[in-house]
Every structure is written in C-alpha cells, then in structure tokens.
Amino acid sequence: MSWQNYLDEKLNVRRNTPLWRKRQVINHSNGRFLTTISGEKYLNFSGNDYLGISQHADVINAWQQGANEYGVGSGGSGHITGFTQAHMQLEQHLADWLGYDNALLFSSGYSANQGVISALLEKEDIIIADKLCHASLMEAAALSPATLWRFLHNSPDSLSQRLNKTSANKILVVTEGVFSMDGDQAPLRETALISQKHHAWLMVDDAHGIGVLGKQGQGSCDDVGIKPELLVVTFGKAFGVSGAAVLCNKPTAEFFEQYARHLIYSTSMPPAQAVALNSALNVIKQADSEREYLQQLIYTFRQGVASLPIKLLPSQTAIQPVIIGDEQLCQTLSDYLQSKGLWVKAIFPPTVPPQSARLRITLTTRHHLSDIKLLIETLHAFFSQNR
Ligand SMILES: *Cc1c(COP(=O)(O)O)cnc(C)c1O
C-alpha cells in the first residue's frame, strides 16, 4: 500500500464521525472563561488547571524573573548544561514536600512515565497495571520488553490474583491516584499492602491528585498515608504549568541518572519554568481554602445533576464525567452546551472504553458558584428536551 492510500484509508475510517479529532484555536483564557479565535466567549469546563494557578500573578512574575536571570532555554540536557540552580532548588523543594530522598524533573508526564518504565524493566520482568491507566503508562509498558498484565480497574482482588500467578523477581504494580477520565480514586492503601506482600514495587501516577488532595496538596498518597517506591507528579494540571517529576529514594535516583534515556537525551525544562514551578509549589502549599472551595463546587455540581437520567461516576474530585455512551448523543450534548456558552468537550473511545463516550466536566476554583448552577440548569434543559 502506498503512503497516500494508507493515509486515506486511516482518515476515512474517522472522517464525518464524532471520533474525528480537530484542535480549536483559543485566543485567550483566564481559567474561568476562554475565547476562541472568532471572538466567542465560553465558560471553560474542560481544563485541568484545578486551582487556577496558570493565571496566578506570583507564578507569572516568577517565570518572568527566571527568564531575566537565565534566559528562555536550558541549552541542553541536565547532564550537559541544563541542570541549573533553579532545577536543583525545585527538585529539593519537591523532595522535602513529599518526603522522598530525591525528585528528578522531566519535561512532561508522558516522558516521565516512559523514562521510568523503559529504564527499570527488562525482559523477564512483569508490569501489572490498572486497566484504566493513562495512555502514557500503557504505551510505555507495551513498548517495554517486560510482560504487561492488566488488572481490573480499582480491584485489589484482581491485582492479588495476578500477583499470585507470577514468580518474577522484579514486578512493578502501576496505578493512578485519581483516574484522568473517570475522576475516581484508586484504593491505594490496599494496593500498597498487596504489592509489598509480593515484594513488588508500586508506581503511582498522581497527575490529577497532586496539588488538590492531601494536606498542603501533597496528593493522593499522602492523603491515605502511603509512600510508593515511585511517585510521578505532573505540573500541567493543578500546578498550572507543565513538566513532571519522579520521586524516589537515592539509589533509584542515581539509577535514573545513569539509565533514564528521557533524562539523558532530552533538553531539560527551561530554568525559568523551574523558577515558576517553585513559586506554584508555594502557592499550592498555602491553598487550603481554595481546595475547600473546590470541594464545595464539586458537591454543588453532584447535587444539582443527581436527578438527571445520566450515569454519574463515584468521583469526589474535580473531574466529574457525565457518561452518555452513545457517541452521537454525546456530541449533540457537547454542541448544545457550546451553543449556550459552555465549553465541555466530549471524550470518545479509544481514549475511554467502548460505549462510554462522555462529557469530561472539570471544575476549577476559578469558577463562581453561579457558573456551576448555569451548567446544571443547562444540562436539565437539554435532558427535558431530549427525553
Ligand atoms: C496528563 C497525564 C499524563 C501526562 O502528563 P503531561 O505532563 O501532560 O505529559 C500522565 N498521566 C496521567 C494520569 C495524566 O492525566
């Protein structure tokens, strides 16, 4: 098959279906509202900036100061020229905050997950991952020479069954603190106990828990008092910036410095970004009242939609998906909300399991209580017209 035929075939499968992906240009966003390039203004219910930190004056200022001091780029990987005092201070700050020996910075969560799994696992090893783990974890595991098994979502029994079936020396159990498309939380205490019993290491990706859960926003693991061998935190969500870090003990950090190709062969984040992240971390530590307010918004939303003919997931987090199932109806609902000035993007398979197309509604402290009420009323209006 020629290149042209291959592309045509692949594109035609999706063209004119709700699965066709298209990026929309955003002109301006302040966390609460976003404006498109054609000047239309929407209330934003699709972002991951749960605490509105992307717009925080201290953090913006820190980034500007950082750029004045260091310039805009790091000039190389951390092993060459790209590990500045700003990077070192951020790593130490993160390690102290989360109670680990070391933190290692990566350019993104995607790259952190790839870097960790590709460095640690060999052919005879086993990765046992929750079925709903993020694409970056599943892809890293699939590319790894180790064997990948999956356990039923949030099921300690299913995990135990898998662990009972292997005698591999190196086993990595992988899960998330808060699941990105469902908003529910993993049973981390049981997961940690079971992993420990089988001498497996536990890796927790807390992309959506860090900053919003636990005391001082220390995340899902702190919230239940566990300390996995590997904790991945990302900075594109509640931190409001981008980038990621892996928290681990000292020998593991030394190992990654030697063997994690994503650290060695990729330009480190700009130093100014590290300065901004340090400032974002200070904001997060002091954001108890914002986290409380977020809980209030979550409660208001769940109460308000409880009587609708929709499936609401058991989520206590800022991710409140509305499961529709049918892809066309889901797109119709998303379009309807958009026509009413509400930006709520539909998520389709394969990002989520088949027959579970959904609106992934997210809440942020930038929202006013009246915004949540408007969303609730608009959902009620749609369902009273579409019974
Ligand atoms: C967003 C996300 C990632 C990827 O992080 P980026 O920094 O955006 O690359 C990884 N894991 C989970 C669970 C995520 O939600």
Per residue in 343-357, pLDDT tens?
999 999 988 999 999
pLDDT for 118 beyond 70 = yes
Whether residues 120 and 186 share a domain: the answer is yes
Buried b (16+ CB within 10 A) or exposed e, 52-90: bbbebeebeebbeebbeebeebbeebbeeebbbebbeeb
Annotated active-site residue 44? The verdict is no
Whether residues 238 and 374 share a domain: the answer is no
What is the rounded average pLDDT of the residues 23-36?
92
Whether residues 108 and 254 share a domain: the answer is yes
Whether residues 132 and 42 share a domain: the answer is no
What is the rounded average pLDDT of the residues 260-287?
97
Which residues are bridge partners to 232 per DSSP? 205, 246
Considering the domain boundaries, does residue 342 fall inside one?
Answer: yes
Determine the pLDDT at residue 17: 86
The answer to whether the annotation marks 21 as part of a ligand binding site is yes
Determine the pLDDT at residue 18: 79
| pLDDT tens-digit readout, 197-207 | 999 999 999 99
Last residue of a domain, one of 229, 262, 285: 285
Q: Which contiguous run of DSSP H or E holds residue 371?
A: helix 369-385
CATH number at residue 69: 3.40.640.10
Rounded CA separation 348/328 (Å): 10
Rounded CA separation 127/168 (Å): 10
Annotated active-site residue 180? The verdict is yes
CATH number at residue 319: 3.90.1150.10
Contacts of 376 (CB under 8 A, 6+ apart): 300, 301, 304, 305
Last residue of a domain, one of 236, 269, 285: 285
Region of 30 on the Ramachandran plot (φ > 0 left; ψ -120 to 50 alpha; else beta): alpha
What is the rounded average pLDDT of the residues 250-274?
97
Q: How many domains does the chain have?
A: 2
What is the rounded average pLDDT of the residues 130-144?
96
Q: Which domain holds residue 31?
A: 24-51+287-385
Instruction: Name the more confident of 234 and 312.
Output: 234
Q: Which of 131, 136, 352 to mutate to test the pocket of ligand 1 (most atoms within 8 A of CB)?
A: 136
Whether residues 30 and 143 share a domain: the answer is no
Catalytic residue among 91, 176, 290, 371: 176
pLDDT band, residue 21 (cuts 50/70/90): confident
Distance 111 CA to ligand 1 centre (A): 9
Last residue of a domain, one of 285, 307, 330: 285
Whether residues 239 and 381 share a domain: the answer is no
Whether residues 354 and 364 share a domain: the answer is yes
Closest atom of ligand 1 to CA, residue 179: 13
Annotated active-site residue 170? The verdict is no
Distance 162 CA to ligand 1 centre (A): 26
Catalytic residue among 87, 208, 262, 367: 208
Query: What value does the mean pLDDT of the chain take?
Result: 96
Buried b (16+ CB within 10 A) or exposed e, 256-295: beeebebbbebebbbbbbbbbbbbbbebbeebeebbebbe
Annotated active-site residue 208? The verdict is yes
Considering the domain boundaries, does residue 1 fall inside one?
Answer: no
Distance 133 CA to ligand 1 centre (A): 10
Considering the domain boundaries, does residue 13 fall inside one?
Answer: no
Whether residues 247 and 332 share a domain: the answer is no
Whether residues 139 and 267 share a domain: the answer is yes
Considering the domain boundaries, does residue 179 fall inside one?
Answer: yes
Whether residues 152 and 106 share a domain: the answer is yes
Whether residues 238 and 102 share a domain: the answer is yes
Considering the domain boundaries, does residue 321 fall inside one?
Answer: yes
Considering the domain boundaries, does residue 111 fall inside one?
Answer: yes
pLDDT for 387 beyond 70 = no
Considering the domain boundaries, does residue 164 fall inside one?
Answer: yes
Considering the domain boundaries, does residue 10 fall inside one?
Answer: no
Whether residues 253 and 115 share a domain: the answer is yes
| pLDDT tens-digit readout, 51-67 | 999 999 999 999 999 99
Distance 150 CA to ligand 1 centre (A): 19
**SS3 of 80, please?**
coil
Determine the pLDDT at residue 109: 98
Nearest to 159 by CA among 133, 123, 124, 184: 133
